[in-house]
Copies of this chain bind each other. A is one copy, B any other.
Amino acid sequence: MSRTRHIIIVEPSFIIVEGLSAVFSKFGLKYTISKAATLEELSSLLIIKACDAIVLNPLLLQNNMKGVQALKTRFEDIKWIGLVYAYHDPSVLAMFDTTITISDTPESIDSKTDKILLSEYSADKDLPQDILSEREVDVLKLLASGLANKEIADKLNISINTVITHRKNISQKTGIKSVSGLTIYAVVQKLITLENISG
């Protein structure tokens, strides 16, 4: 088990900061996050607390390449991750150890971060064996989304009989017969997103 990594996110957009923060939070104690909106704030943060990596919007480099170079020299162990959501000159991106984009999945962000932090790559790839076939998952998703058999059939362009057959197989494989049970199953298996109400 590797230690917790401390990461500083430097990005002016509140949305991006919170979103990226949420991404790292998904991985439990693996990461702790600090936030900064400007390079000045970053400098202040670095004085009071060490960190393993800095996620930085390259836009912030525009007028202060020198200052950043100084920081890089001073904290040579810190990894720099570019956070791109627009075009950036390759020469600018070259200064980063890796880049992540806003379209990256949490897993890909975690994996990229892992890689540059040289931490041991999680070997346990015991991915949950998908009991259900692809088509069965299609049906289950729509079912858990509130559609009736007929609607599912229309959406998937198959006959209602086929939908019923799939549902029979789904129930048999999962051992769950009720719609509510299957809905929860879909949520737990992350087949559908149930993210409501902050709590």
How often does this chain occur in the complex, in copies?
Answer: 2
Q: In whole Å, how far is A62's beta carbon from the nearest beta carbon of chain B?
A: 15
- B199–A32 CB distance below 8 A: no
- B181–A14 CB distance below 8 A: no
Please count how many residues in chain A sit with their CB below 8 Å of the partner chain's CB atoms.
Answer: 60
- B14–A17 CB distance below 8 A: no
| A179 beta carbon closer than 8 Å to chain B | yes
Q: Which residues of B contact A180 (CB under 8 A)?
A: 143-146, 179-180, 182-183, 197
Q: Which residues of B contact A41 (CB under 8 A)?
A: 145, 192-193
Knowing that A21-B22, A188-B196 are A-B contacts, what are 12 other residue pairs whose CB atoms are under 8 Å apart, sorted by A's residue number?
Answer: A14-B23, A14-B105, A19-B21, A21-B195, A33-B195, A41-B192, A44-B142, A44-B147, A44-B192, A48-B146, A176-B199, A190-B199
A-B contact pairs, 19 of them (CB 8 A): A13-B102, A15-B16, A15-B20, A15-B23, A16-B16, A16-B19, A18-B21, A18-B22, A32-B197, A33-B195, A33-B196, A35-B193, A44-B142, A146-B181, A179-B179, A181-B197, A184-B196, A187-B187, A188-B197
